[in-house]
Amino acid sequence: MYKGSCLCGSIQFSLDGAVTDIIHCHCSLCRKASGSAYATNGFINAVDLKLDDAKGTLTFYESSEGKRKYFCSKCGAPIYSSNAQSPTRYRLRLGVLESDILERPISHNFVTSKANWEEFDADLPHYEKHEPGRK
């Protein structure tokens, strides 16, 4: 079982199932929705997601007919998306998970529309906290 929440904690959830087909999506829509170079998403079975939204902050944006992106109206954290053509599964934003996951990404997608500053450079230095010299 996995646990997760939005940034402010208004929305808590548990996931009693696997996360499948995890991808790093570089399309312009995912970049805008995440505010980053890409979004990491995985499919889950809709019935496996148990939301606790006692404050009623879960809302959605319908990006196109039948496609909804659910997020917290208080902190803006994206949670999952749904597609009316596949109502039994959701696409979960993996950044909202608090539990370590067993599954791993299978690909980078829409790389032709990736941010022009994204280089896929695995050789960049890695830091446990902020980069040296940051104030």
Tokens 């402010």 appear where?
8
User: Is residue 20 over pLDDT 90?
Assistant: yes
Measured CA to CA, the distance from residue 21 to residue 125 in angstroms comes to 28
Single out the residue of 42, 49, 44, 39 nearest to residue 13, CA to CA: 49
Say how far residue 134 (Cα) sits from the centre of its chain: 27
Find out whether 78 and 93 touch, Cβ atoms under 8 Å. yes
Query: Side chain identity at 116, as an amino acid letter?
Result: N
Tokens 């548990």 appear where?
14
Which residues are CB-contacts of 133 (< 8 A; sequence separation ≥ 6)? none
Structure tokens, 107: 């690909």
Q: Averaged over 45-60, what is the pLDDT?
A: 96
Over residues 53-105, the pLDDT tens digits come to 999 999 999 989 999 999 999 999 999 999 999 999 999 999 999 999 999 99
Range of weakest confidence among 3-7, 12-16, 71-75, 129-133:
129-133
**Span 2-113: which CATH code?**
2.170.150.70
* Whole-angstrom Cα Rg for the chain: 16
pLDDT in the model for residue 126: 62
- Read off the pLDDT band of 131 (50, 70, 90): low
Cα angle vertex 51, ends 90, 45, to 5°?
A: 30
Domain ranges of the chain: 2-113
